[in-house]
Structure 1
Amino acid sequence: MPVPTAGEVLRLWFEEVWNQCDASRIEVHMAPAGIARAVDETGADAHGPAAFRAFFERFLDSFSDIRFTMHEVVEAGPLAAGRWTARLTHSGPGLGVPPTGRSLELSGMAMVRVEDGKIVEGWNEWNRMALATGLGLLVAPAR
């Protein structure tokens, strides 16, 4: 079986890990020493699959109906970048916030560096302000 390209790994990551909510796929797609930069709600890094899994499980404890849509993926050798939108419902206290039942839409971009078919480094930029205002932690200024 051929080794997947960086773009294929990025798409598989969002489909299998996030859309299928399958934590077992984290180790399949992330190298043992892989780093996910600025991944969580605070902008902290996750070093290795176990650290990413801890964030992932907290996220799943907070949100249901998670659905990521990958809009575009651009590849250049071992690098791939993609723009995404996520729709989810705040249904649990996993992030330390009582569930609101609110539906949220978040947008962001991810870039990965892949070696031997696994993510060795990933960079994440997503709209944390939309998360905070959607959970009622911040009030959006009047327009």
Structure 2
Amino acid sequence: MSEQNKATAKRMFDAWNTRDFDVFDEVIAADAIDHDPQNPYAEVHGPAALRRQAEMYVAAFSDTRMLVNEQIAEGEFVLTRWTATGTNDGPLMGMPATGKPVVIQGMTVARFRDDGKISEGWTSSDMLGMLQQLGVIPAAQSAST
């Protein structure tokens, strides 16, 4: 079951690359909960939450690419370490496009039900680094300067 769950989790990330967000309906339970505190649509449950989030990021980074770096599975959980790249060519959460490229890394833990669908998710990603790369927040300065 672990290998099957890893493949299902990877399909979620591949859907970002192909822009086939209908995949979310196939792999995410209708009552799934997203615990990502950075997801502006976390109050929405099921595949619609991830679809809205994916559409928001693709509108802001039309060349978004998601790379699955590695996966670890144990029991009903799959951890996916990923890297996202893209160029900010559209507005993002009220911020105008900067035209700047970003590379961010993150990890997502997906909890699977017995039917093979994702019932919960937790994501942690480098949003501070993304905002620094976009020039929205200044990069940290060395303590010696």
Shorter-chain TM-score: what band? 0.7 to 0.9
- Which has the larger share of strand? 1
Residue identity in the other structure for 1:55: Q
Q: Tell me if 1:71 matches 2:69.
A: yes
Q: Tell me if 1:96 matches 2:101.
A: no
* Number of residues of Structure 1 aligned to a counterpart in Structure 2: 140
Structure 1: where are the runs of 5+ without partners?
A: none
Q: In structure 1, what is the equivalent of residue 135 of structure 2?
A: 136
CA contact (8 A) 2:42 2:49 kept: no
User: What is the TM-score with the length of structure 1 in the denominator?
Assistant: 0.87
CA contact (8 A) 1:31 1:119 kept: yes
1:23-42 CA distances to partner (integer Å, 9 max, x unpaired)? Answer: 21111111100112216456
Q: Which range moves more in the overlay, 90-99 or 117-126?
A: 90-99
CA contact (8 A) 2:29 2:118 kept: yes
Distance 1:69 1:103, change over 3 A: same
CA contact (8 A) 1:60 1:94 kept: no
Q: Tell me if 1:108 matches 2:106.
A: yes
Q: RCO greater where, 1 or 2, for CA within 8 Å and sep 6 or more?
A: 1
Distance 1:27 1:42, change over 3 A: closer
Q: In structure 2, what is the equivalent of residue 19 of structure 1?
A: 17
1:57-80 CA distances to partner (integer Å, 9 max, x unpaired)? Answer: 211111121111111111112211
CA contact (8 A) 1:6 1:113 kept: no
Residue identity in the other structure for 1:104: V
How far residue 142 of structure 1 moved from its aligned partner, in angstroms, is: 2.0
Q: 2:48 aligns with which of 47, 50, 59?
A: 50
Q: Where does structure 1 differ by over 3 angstroms across 4 or more consecutive aligned residues?
A: 39-46
Structure 2: where are the runs of 5+ without partners?
A: none
Structure 1 vs Structure 2: percent identity of aligned residues? 31
Q: Give 3-state SS (helix, strand or coil) of 2:64's partner.
A: strand
Q: In structure 2, what is the equivalent of residue 5 of structure 1?
A: 4
Higher Rg:
2
User: What is the TM-score with the length of structure 2 in the denominator?
Assistant: 0.86
